[in-house]
Amino acid sequence: MTRRLGILPLFVLLAGLLVLVVGSDRVGLVLCGVSGLTAGALRLTQPPESIGWLVSRRKPVDIAASVILGAALCVVALALPH
């Protein structure tokens, strides 16, 4: 079970993309941003063998890239007009 934790951000991203296509831009972008934040949190807290494909570079680079991109998507989503 723990080896499959790395797939969680992918499922959240796919859900966000589906919501973007079908419904709300704001909710879809927030879900996409949350997938990046989830990937960063998993990379920070889990050992490399339990998150599989999330390990691609050095740990600080992985965490920074995921968290910055995820947070940026959330900020853009919340800045959209209604």
Name the phi and psi angles at 24, rounded to 5: -85, 130
Domain borders along the chain are 2-79
CB 44 within 8 A of CB 63: yes
Res 72: pLDDT: 96
Residue 35, both tokens: 């997938």
Cα 26–Cα 43–Cα 30 angle in degrees, nearest 5: 5
Q: Please identify which residue in the block is written with the tokens 């599989």.
A: 52
- Contact (CB, 8 A) for 35 and 77: no
CB-count exposure of residue 43 (10 Å: 0-12, 13-18, 19+): buried
| Structure-model confidence comparison of residues 82 and 22, the more confident one | 22
Q: Could you read off the pLDDT of 4-47 as tens digits, one per residue?
A: 777 888 899 999 999 999 988 899 999 999 999 999 998 888 88
pTM: 0.86
